[in-house]
Amino acid sequence: MSDLLDVDSGADGAGGGSTGRADSAPTGADRPVAETDGSDGPDGSDGSDDLERRLAYEFADRDLLTRALSHRSWCAEQSGRLSNERLEFLGDAVLGLVVAEHTYRTFPDRAEGTLAKVRASVVNAHVLAEVAAEIELGDRLRLGKGEDLSGGRTKESILADALEAVIGAVYLDGGFEPARDLILGLLVDRIAEAVRDPGESDHKSRLQELTVHQGRGVPEYQVSGKGPDHARRYVATVYVAGQRLGTGEGRSKKDAEQAAAHAAHAALGDERGGWDA
């Protein structure tokens, strides 16, 4: 598996991390120019050491980490700075592969449909944002002034994208093994929980069962897209009996609807004072 993905960093990074490094890196004229941003973090300090401790990974090329933390709103206010969007694209692919490989090898008796549900339950914006918040990734993000003032450091989509970008940066810096260690270190408990009850990830079905049981009828979803084609995101709003119950965001219409259903189910639980009440 590592032979499949352990390629050199190409134009997106060079050098290696603490373990599992690619065998070679570009040198001389083929070696990419480091992309430094020349600025400190939002609190005036770099903060790389603290974040690396939380990631349990030390970067050889911290420029990769810097870029992983650079949101496009910040780059728009700078001159010639690259955002984390390409690293996010790479990290999303590495994340999906690691979770798929782990579930395939760890749970050989589970059918493909179950494994797909497990992967969907952990590889989504809601879960990734939770994990990013747990490691305090939002504190280290480089955001534009407007995005920062509007609460961007706690915004689900920004946190999820940044975590994927960090995964991509670790992969380029150290190779597949460190990236897999990082991902499983952050998600292995959630994966195990999802395997125990894969149906928990189908929030739309759970919401419909609840609303029909309560006599409220079937949920209806309204979905809209935003952003350029290469970074399209969708926002879904779910209504039950004409009442707006939840909103969610995702990279696909399906993910957005699932996120909206999850929010709506939680809101109905709050109305009842919690499901155990």
Confidence of residue 84 (pLDDT cuts 50, 70, 90): very high
In sequence order, the 6+-apart residues with CB closer than 8 A to the CB of 33 are none
Q: Is 197 a catalytic residue?
A: no
pLDDT at site 87: 97
Q: Report the interhelical angle of 85-106 vs 176-196 (nearest 10°).
A: 60
In sequence order, the 6+-apart residues with CB closer than 8 A to the CB of 140 are 41, 42, 47, 51, 69
Q: Is 92 a catalytic residue?
A: yes
Residue identified by tokens 């292995």 is 188
pLDDT at site 183: 97
Residue ranges matching CATH 3.30.160.20 in the chain: 202-271
- Greatest mean pLDDT among 173-177, 189-193, 213-217 lies in 173-177
Catalytic residue among 147, 156, 164, 249: 164
Statement: 202-271 belongs to CATH 2.102.10.10: no
| pLDDT tens sequence across 124-162 | 888 899 999 999 999 999 999 999 999 889 998 899 999
Fold (CATH) for 2-200? Ribonuclease iii, N-terminal Endonuclease Domain; Chain A (1.10.1520)
Catalytic residue among 12, 88, 92, 147: 92
| pLDDT tens sequence across 47-82 | 678 899 999 999 999 999 999 999 999 998 988 889
Residue ranges matching CATH 1.10.1520.10 in the chain: 2-200
